[in-house]
Structure 1
């Protein structure tokens, strides 16, 4: 397939394990990659630098868009955007009905809306997002129902949707355990050494926050060693 005719995908790239796995999977699926990252005042802003490295690894730095959404920190309401709320060290299990304090109100809705604009402009047929309904039980914007509804809105609210071409939202990780994500990523050479998952935003991951714990558990269950540095 020629470069001009190659199918295209926007990848919502945080610089973390899940979104970077999505980059690898989209490439494996034959898509030309158009990554987009968001600086929303998150306390782990260091992940933006990781996203840049991942984009460079895949040879698409020139297409990598970094969008500032400073108002999410102004709003607060999440341990990731409000310094008065502590990052928890307890992982909510799949049976938990409590929405974690690391949930950022409206984040994925905003991300997908902006990614849709980038997809239309670039002629992309898909948007990849690394949402996971299994390990992150309780995040309302990680559920399949949410994704399906946003797809319906995209079909109604975009030029490509009205013309019948459409943009799909690809969520390959949505029902995978963290171990399966790691296993599948390692098979296709995902550069996990360039990623971070820590919510505390230090040069070395804390190993204690819920995101670090889930990541470490995933590598352990996958029978592999996490290549990043921990305190």
Structure 2
């Protein structure tokens, strides 16, 4: 039986590397991309291309209601800060790009799919500045 892994794939650098790592680790990958009203829809197309390039067995798009995450700059018209690292963010400040509990919601849905697929791993690529 093939070794299966669910990969949370946004189309960004971190999740694309995580997907490649899963393939390198010998897994057949099952990609999951979340649609929640994020402003960078080009990432969804990138996720599709990465999944295809890496030979994903399946790639599902999971639509979540935008009201769950409506306070983040990633969903609205607010400017998204760039070019700073974790040390430059004042202690206690929550970045405008913070999406409340996003990763735990994503991981919960991915874990349910992984169980249904009898997958033995879930891969997620997150950034130190993600805060969620």
Aligned 8 A contact 1:92 1:100 in 2 = no
Aligned residue among 7, 32, 37 for 1:36: 32
Partner of 1:55: 51
Superposition misfits of 4+ residues, deviation over 4 angstroms: none
Map 1:10-89 → 2, pairs under 5 A: 10-60=6-56, 63-72=58-67, 75-83=69-77, 85-89=78-82
Aligned 8 A contact 2:69 2:102 in 1 = no
Map 1:202-217 → 2, pairs under 5 A: none
Which structure features the higher share of helix residues?
1
Report the Cα distance in structure 2 between the residues aligned to 1:128 and 1:16, rounded to whole angstroms.
14
Q: 1:50 to 1:88 in 2, by over 3 A?
A: same
Cα deviation, residue 24, structure 1: 0.8
Which structure features the higher share of strand residues?
2
Aligned 8 A contact 1:8 1:34 in 2 = yes
Cα deviation, residue 45, structure 1: 1.3
Cα deviation, residue 91, structure 1: 1.6
Report the Cα distance in structure 2 between the residues aligned to 1:75 and 1:104, rounded to whole angstroms.
6
Partner of 1:184: none
Partner of 2:99: 104
Report the Cα distance in structure 2 between the residues aligned to 1:63 and 1:89, rounded to whole angstroms.
33
Structure with bigger gyration radius: 1
Higher relative contact order, chain-length normalized (CA < 8 Å, sep 6+): 2
State the superposition RMSD in angstroms.
1.8
Partner of 1:120: 115
- Count of paired positions: 130
